[in-house]
Structure 1
Amino acid sequence: MELYVEDYGGGSVTKLKGVADNFMKALEARPEIEEVYSPYEVNYPQYTVTVNASLCKRYGIEPASVLSVLNGYIGGNYASQFNSFGKLYHVMLQTDPGLRMNKDDLNDIYVVTEKGGYTPITELITLKKTYGLQSLNRFNLFQGISVELTPAEGYTSGDVIDVVSEVSAATLPQGYGYEYTGTAREEASSSSATAWVFALSLLLVYIVLCCLYESLLIPMAVMLSVPFGLVGSFMLINLAELENNIYMQVGIIMLIGLLAKTAILITEYACERRREGMPIAAAALDAAKARLRPILMTALTLIVGLMPMIFERGAGAMGNVTLGLCVVGGMLVGTLALLLFVPVFFIFFQTMEERFRPRPAMTTLAVLTAVCLLSGCKTYMC
């Protein structure tokens, strides 16, 4: 994992380096992190190049041309490009590595003068050995120092994200912060929204069920059955020693819909029997018996269909294994729990529903009576 320690106040890089070092020491003390490393140095050995502008003017050479030649031979410049055998190749100008190993090799680099002659670049520049910044890095327009983290064995990247958040709050002074890069940045931004995604998923399912049953209590018999499947999903994932990643989160969202659908089969059948006049307990038991076979067939078909994902091996197989184990574990435990607890929940909430709200038949009679009264009908009593 990689992040940048940033200076929001625009201070010196040396102070930013000190803040980053203290931050790294605090991270190294945590057991969740195996290694913390930063390649950035403020005392990096280097040469300071000074161009003799007056001598360049005497030769008719621009100082920028001297620096361009030096950059081209030592660092490399893009010169051109050409097509060959259906491929595009770039032409880079650069000295052979063996001819630029030390400063004495600069004697073999020449600059073209105004009269077309050549002069050694060492006559136009002077070198001074110094220590300074390795580079000036910016991330999101702020000065930043890159820090690389390696999670310890037995800990996930999510644990490291939590640790970094705790340590930064305790060690980073005001005006300094951090930002992740790469996949860690996506994980950190998505982890904060995971709870909202699950909450909105449950809320959407509840609203749809309320519209289906025209009740605020009956849908709770379906909603309360979902956590049983989630428990089974987390149990199987922990037994397999897998981490909670994006594949598991996608499987959980899919599992919520599957378990809710299965619970709806029982609840809807029980509601129909209750509307026909059957007692609440008898309606719940009859619904469980009648829907037992289709529920088991649906669950077993899904479980058997996901088995190839669980036993898959090779590159990228862990994502399929995590998704498969998440759904299979949730369906195994959730299906058994649905058959046992959904009838109980229906009996409880249907009893509460009828206690606090009139029966639908009574409500219909009251509406017809009110319509007859308002219309002036004298025969509504019949």
Structure 2
Amino acid sequence: MEAREKIRALMPVKAGVNLRMAAGRGHYGSTGIEIELSGEEASVLELMSQQIADRLGRLPMIREVDTSLESGDQEVRVAVQRERTLAAGLSSQAVASTVSSALSSRAVSHFKTDDREVDLIMQYREEDRETLDQLKNVPVFGAEAALPLGALADFSFVEGPRSIEREDHQMRVQITAEATDRRASYGAMGAVEAVMSEMPMPPGYSWSFGRWNRYMRQDQDSGFYSLLFALPLVYMVLAALFESFTQPFTIMFSVPFALIGVALVMHLTGQPWETMTIIGLIVLLGIVVNNAIVLINHINFLRKEGLGRDDAIRLGGQHRLRPILITAITTILGMVPMVAPFLFPQWFGPVEGRAATWAPIGLVIIGGLTTSTFLTLMIIPTIYSLIDDASSFMRRVLRSA
């Protein structure tokens, strides 16, 4: 993204010239957005693509909207006048052959050598075919005399055919755009989807996101499903470990504490919620509960030794403060090499290749573990007391019933 902005700053600004850079795609964290329109009539697709491009251009997080409808090249059309040609004793084919021979780059013959075959191309010299007047003066040889091409044909400048792709026997037009930054890329896809849902589609016409956008959305959805599956799995393991249905809830409060740090570090570094971020959350989910497990397990041990609940909480916090801090600090320091080039490119060089891919995982773990460690030490004992009181109250209610 930084390279794109630097290139854009270096480009000259000229009146009447619009600069568009190709949409980035094909990698995680890309800001490129691609929409595919498909249907039967090219004219309808052209009209729809222009309307959609106009609407997308009004979105604040979208820029550089473009379509795959390329304007045809400027061409010179030679229209042979049959009456003049027949009067001169020539045919339209003879005139067309003369033009082709003068300008075509097709091989007229081949020259064979010992190891290869060389094409022989015969055409006018470059300096003899640079202007339209020179083309009009090309002689067309007939039975009696040679006539200039301009006397047998009319010339006009026209726009060549536009390029439209086909897929599954239907015409397809692509609309590409760029998000203003990586953090806005996923929000931009939602805004684009809202615009497209309001766009009426004629019968037989449809739209979809481009291939790489679809892949990114599928990966994101799969990551969220994995995260939702990991939460109850962690709870079941904790319930089996503590032989309780209530104490795992106390430990699971470490997860929202970690999300505070994740959201903060993602905001400060300008990172989007992409696939690698979700993978980092899944890894973080298994790490942040360790501190609460160590603390709650020791408190339970002290209570079994005969200490009261409040005394066990105070003493357990004192006993486990140093191990929890040492464990968290060593884990965070182990993540530093992964994120150092991302945070300090002026010292370690720009982030490239796999480093840019894996850096979000390290950022998530560092941010989430930092806040979770301190909040676990300060707030989890209070939550432990509240849940223990609620459990005692429910047991008394059940006994009285």
- TM range, smaller chain: 0.5 to 0.7
Q: Among 37, 42, 46, which residue is 1:6 paired with?
A: 37
Distance 1:35 1:339, change over 3 A: same
Asked if the contact 2:76–2:157 (Cα under 8 Å) also holds between the matched residues in 1, the reply is: yes
Residue 243 of structure 2 is matched in structure 1 by: 214
Distance 1:290 1:260 in 2: 18
* Equivalence for 2:225: 196
Aligned to 1:178: 208
Q: CA deviation at 1:220?
A: 0.7
Per the alignment, residue 30 of structure 1 pairs with 59
TM-score, normalisation: structure 2: 0.63
CA shift in 2, pair 1:247/1:19, >3 Å: same
Instruction: Map Cα deviations across residues 114-140 of structure 1 (whole Å, 9 max, x no partner).
Output: xxxxxxxxxxxxxx9976753442356
Partner of 1:157: 185
Determine the structure 1 residue equivalent to 2:144: none
Mean Cα displacement is larger for which, 193-202 or 339-348?
Answer: 193-202
Sort the Cα spacing of 1:97 and 1:159 in 2 relative to 1 into closer, same or farther, 3 A: farther
RMSD over equivalenced CA pairs, Å = 4.0
Mapped contact 2:36–2:210 kept (Cα < 8 A): no
Matched length: 301
Q: CA deviation at 1:340?
A: 1.0
Q: Aligned equivalents of 2:177 and 2:122: distance in 1?
A: 35
Task: Tell me, yes or no, if structure 1 residue 323 matches structure 2 residue 361.
Answer: yes
Q: Which amino acid aligns with 1:329?
A: G
**2:350 aligned to 314, 317, 328, which one?**
314
- Aligned-pair CA distance for 1:292: 1.4
Do the aligned residues in 1 keep the contact of 2:69 with 2:164 (CA within 8 Å)? no
> Is the CA contact (8 Å cut-off) linking 2:255 and 2:285 kept in structure 1?
yes
Alpha-carbon spacing, 1:290–1:269, altered in 2? closer, same or farther (3 Å): same
Whole-angstrom CA distance in 2 between matches of 1:92 and 1:211: 80
- CA–CA distance in 2 between the matches of 1:157 and 1:236? 18
Map 1:226-241; keep pairs closer than 5 Å. 226-241=255-270
Corresponding residue for residue 244 of structure 1: 273
* Kept after mapping to 2: 8 A contact 1:4/1:180: yes
SS in 2 for 1:335: helix
Q: Closer, same or farther in 2 for the Cα pair 1:140/1:297, shift >3 Å?
A: farther
How far residue 194 of structure 1 moved from its aligned partner, in angstroms, is 3.8
| C-alpha separation in 2, matches of 1:293 and 1:281 | 20
1:22/1:210 Cα in 2 relative to 1: closer, same or farther (>3 Å)?
same
- Cα 1:235/1:11, change in 2 over 3 Å: same
Compared with structure 1, are the counterparts of its residues 92 and 189 closer, same or farther at alpha carbon in structure 2 (3 Å cutoff)? farther
Distance change >3 Å, CA 231–CA 167, structure 1 → 2: same
Aligned twin of 1:338: 376
Change over 3 Å in CA distance of 1:218–1:321 after alignment to 2 = same
Given residue 296 of structure 1, which amino acid in structure 2 is its aligned partner?
L
SS class of match (1:178): strand
> Taking structure 1 as reference, are residues 4 and 321 closer, same or farther at Cα in structure 2, changes over 3 Å only?
closer
In the aligned structure 2, how far is the partner of 1:276 from the partner of 1:188?
Answer: 53
Q: CA deviation at 1:179?
A: 2.1
- 1:311 is paired with a residue whose SS is helix
SS at match of 2:162: coil
1:46, distance to aligned residue in structure 2 (A) = 7.1
**CA-to-partner distance for each residue in 1:259-294, whole Å, 9 max, x for gaps?**
111111112222333344433323323322222121
Aligned to 2:317: 288
**Change in 2 beyond 3 A, CA 1:283/1:93:** farther
Over 3 Å counting, the alpha-carbon distance change for 1:74 and 1:26 in structure 2 is farther
SS in 2 for 1:171: coil
Change (3 A) 1:46 1:225: same
Structure 1 spans left out of the alignment, 5+ residues: 49-72, 77-83, 85-90, 108-127, 363-382
Q: Which runs of 5+ in 2 are unaligned?
A: 1-31, 78-103, 108-114, 139-155, 342-348
- Moved beyond 6 Å, runs of 4+: 42-48, 73-76, 91-104, 128-132
Corresponding residue SS for 1:228: helix
Note closer, same or farther for the CA distance 1:285–1:324 as it changes in structure 2 (3 Å cut).
same
Q: What's 2:18 paired with? A: none
